[in-house]
Amino acid sequence: MNNDEILQTLTAMSHYVGAPDRGYAILGEGNTSARIDGDSMYIKASGTALGTMKPADFLAVSISKVTDILDEPNATDDDVRENLRAALLDPREERLPSVETVMHALLYEYGEYNFIAHTHPVACGGLLCSVNAKEAMLGRVCPDQIVVMGRASVFVPYVDPGLALAREVRDRVRQFVEEENEPPKAITLENHGVFALGPTAKSVMNITDMAEKMAYVLLGAYSAGGPKFMTEKDIDRIATRPDEKYRQKLIGG
Ligand SMILES: [Zn+2]
């Protein structure tokens, strides 16, 4: 894909996850990004809305310059803003990237990802803001959920938004990759929302759709006496079946 095609695809993906009838993001909520190459990415400009994004509403930034700030132990919110400004590839650019750019940038350090969507879906929010958030996000209840979202997701307990949250996400994703030998397809943030990550825009939309559908299923299961989560053995079986791998490919996973 050339840069124009990346921007067109990113814009279409943003309209999909930002459409008002889906309930994934309203007003200025959420943010989307796409990899340009090994060290650069497009990210939603601060103050824009996903449902009405135009290609020019995305800013190109250096991934490594954005993530530099994570290793500054005493960095303040002002330092983060200045660092984001310094990471812009166009020095004449006056707008600022989304405040959650640091999280997108640290995730692109995994070469498997080309597109990321972060949203606040309504039903996912219902679970993420509940006392059962962790088990609801880590558990698996249907085979199709495993095909689209993988064997497991990353769950991040509530942390003050900003650098502290970005560092927590980085640590938990590292731990996930060590345990699962592959990067996660979804990261769920307690009292906040969901990150969907994938090689294609289509896979990112599928993961967001499936996360929200499963959240509705789980809300139903909790109201019907509590969910019956699949066993580790059944999850492994679905995750490794050749026909399920084939299906995963067909749907753009
Ligand atoms: Zn958010």
What is the chain's pLDDT, residue by residue, as a tens digit (253 residues)?
A: 999 999 999 999 999 999 999 999 999 999 999 999 999 999 999 999 999 999 999 999 999 999 999 989 899 889 999 999 999 999 999 999 988 999 999 999 999 999 999 999 999 999 999 999 999 999 999 999 999 999 999 999 999 888 999 999 999 999 999 999 999 999 999 999 999 999 999 999 999 999 999 999 999 999 999 999 999 999 998 888 777 777 777 776 5
The Å distance, Cα 31 to ligand 1 centre, comes to 7
The Å distance, Cα 182 to ligand 1 centre, comes to 24
The Å distance, Cα 118 to ligand 1 centre, comes to 6
What strands lie across the sheet with 193-198, from one edge to the other? 58-62, 40-44, 31-37, 115-119, 193-198, 186-189, 154-156
Domains and CATH numbers, the chain: 3-250 (3.40.225.10)
The Å distance, Cα 192 to ligand 1 centre, comes to 6
The Å distance, Cα 122 to ligand 1 centre, comes to 13
What's the predicted TM-score (pTM) here? 0.95
The Å distance, Cα 210 to ligand 1 centre, comes to 18
Per-residue H/E/C for the chain: CCHHHHHHHHHHHHHHHHCHHHCCCCCCCCEEEEEEECCEEEEEECCCCHHHCCHHHEEEEEHHHHHHHHHCCCCCHHHHHHHHHHHECCCCCCCCECCCHHHHHHHCCCCCCCEEEEECCHHHHHHHCCCCHHHHHHCCCCHHHHHHHCCCCEEECCCCCCHHHHHHHHHHHHHHHHHHCCCCCEEEECCCEEEEEECCHHHHHHHHHHHHHHHHHHHHHHHCCCCCCCCHHHHHHHHHCHHHHHHHHHCCC
The Å distance, Cα 15 to ligand 1 centre, comes to 17
